[in-house]
Structure 1
Amino acid sequence: MAVVLQLLSIAGNVLGFLFLTLCIASGLYYISEIVEEHTEPTRRFLTRTIWAIEIILLLLLIFDKFPIKLTLFTMASHMLYYQNLKKFPFISLTSLTFLSSCVVVVVNHYLWFKHFNEVDIPPQFRYDPNYVPPRRATFSQVSSFFAICIWFMPFALFVSLSAGDYILPTTVEQAKKTDDITDLNDSGNATKFRGRTVGLARVVIHSVRKYIYSILALFGIQVQRDYDNLGI
């Protein structure tokens, strides 16, 4: 038995997964910083992308005979994503629109995954020797559909939207007058808030990083923290 080779394979898979995770996190962080500096072009891009996906879904419904109810549900879900752009780039993590969008993403994924994996023969054709089952989509076709029509907009919104909890309500108005805004907290200490938004992706990555730091601290491992304040 190739015991050492098996262990080496497991180690390689773990390292590959960690490397891929770090690459994705770094890419999200970098893209989020770019979006923070170009919010208006990003909003226009996301708006046009939503309408482009709506057209693609309509074409799939007409020419490829996609299921009517499921396609219309996906089109309606993109209109729900569009509601998040009304106050772009700010978003409240507890708003009904944002929470509904999160639920719709999961439901969309489940329903389409179930649709493409449907292999049962209809009861009326079960004993018909002349029945020809419909052609199943290839893996590349299914993955492309999911990437463009199901995952792209939720992923783009996650990277582009900003967490409003990290920003003072007067930041946008006062940003034109001064680069930094000073606020006195309950203890009387001054805290500076820069006149810029904080991307939702950066907030999530920052929170995960703080959690990892706390776990390492339990084992006596001290890591230098360069970005505790998200650049604010």
Structure 2
Amino acid sequence: MSFLGLLSYVSLLVQICFVTVSIAAGLYYLAELVEEYTVIAKKVISWMVGVTACLYVIFIFTEHFSWTMVLCGLGAQALHGLILTDFPYVRFLSPAFIGAVGLLVGNHYLAFVYFQLQYHAFTEVLAYFTLCLWLVPFALFVSLSANDNVLPTSNERTHLLSGNDDVVTNYFSSRKKMGLLSLFSYAKESLLPERNKKAF
């Protein structure tokens, strides 16, 4: 192997590092946009779901995809629409979320099998995976950070309006949580002490 061949491996490693940093910066920027404009993000993701569902309907008439692949894709888009009803709240144990993940995995399997048996250009395969399989789940993944920054309204309202708890019980239960939090904080500080930086 020549020196230029070794140098090409080093340059490939540098390029991979640059691409990784660029993707991370882009994800961070998109997450900031979603946190700032959650209503607009919901509309954009809803449009993505609608366009992807239309693409699957067009595939029925233009391509020779299997019916299971098309129905799996349409079902995934329907479940993505159900996930968006509570946006930006995403419940990971909801049937819609679990079903969407299952259909995403199943649709990947069906697409791999189909594109292995039927020849298509690489750009066509990449277009299918990007626009039909990855775009909406990726947008929902980026929007997960907005879930942490939303004010607690629906969950807290139902908890406060339930007839079982009064003000005193609610006060002591929140104090107990703070006590548990302080216990964990104390354990973290005692077991994993942080170093103090010296100021010069």
- TM-score by length of structure 2 reads 0.70
- Structure 1 counterpart of 2:121, from 121, 138, 150: 138
* Matched residue, 1:169: 152
Following superposition, the deviation at residue 63 of structure 1 comes to: 2.4
- Tell me: higher relative CO, structure 1 or 2? Use CA pairs within 8 A at least 6 residues apart: 2
Shift of 1:33: 0.6
Task: Give the distance between the partners of 1:42 and 1:111, measured in 2 at CA.
Answer: 30
Aligned pairs for 1:32-71 (under 5 A) are 32-71=31-70
Does the aligned pair in 2 maintain the 1:50–1:153 contact within 8 Å? yes
Question: Could you tell me which amino acid in structure 2 is paired with residue 47 of structure 1?
Answer: S
Query: Percent same amino acid at aligned positions?
Result: 32
1: CA distance between counterparts of 2:113 and 2:84? 30
The answer to whether the Cα contact below 8 Å between 1:91 and 1:163 also exists between their aligned partners in 2 is no
Q: CA deviation at 1:71?
A: 0.6
Q: How does 1:61-210 map to 2 (within 5 A)?
A: 61-118=60-117, 136-162=119-145, 164=147, 169-170=152-153, 185-186=178-179
Do the aligned partners of residues 21 and 65 (structure 1) sit closer, same or farther apart at CA in structure 2, a change above 3 Å counting? same
RMSD: 2.9
Query: Which stretches in structure 1 are left out of the alignment for 5+ residues?
Result: 120-135, 174-182, 190-221, 223-232
Alpha-carbon distance in 2 for matches of 1:62, 1:26: 39
Which secondary structure does the structure 2 equivalent of 1:84 belong to? Answer: helix
What letter is aligned with 1:16? Q
8 Å contact 1:77–1:101 — kept in the other structure?
Answer: yes
Residue pair 1:91, 1:164 contacting (<8 A) in 2 also: yes
Structure 2 match to 1:214: none
**Range 100-109 or range 52-61, more displaced:** 100-109
Quote the offset at 1:153 in angstroms. 0.6
Q: 1:83 to 1:171 in 2, by over 3 A?
A: closer
Displacement of 1:108: 1.4
CA contact 1:84–1:98 (8 Å) conserved in 2: yes
Q: 1:59 to 1:168 in 2, by over 3 A?
A: closer
Alpha carbons of structure 1 residues 68 and 169: separation in structure 2 relative to 1, 3 Å? same
Map 1:2-13; keep pairs closer than 5 Å.
Answer: 2=2, 4-13=3-12
Q: Deviations over 1:127-164 (max 9, x none)?
A: xxxxxxxxx32111111111111111111111123475
Q: What is residue 199 of structure 1 aligned with on the other side?
A: none
Following TM superposition, by how much is the alpha carbon of 1:171 offset from its aligned partner in structure 2, in angstroms?
9.6
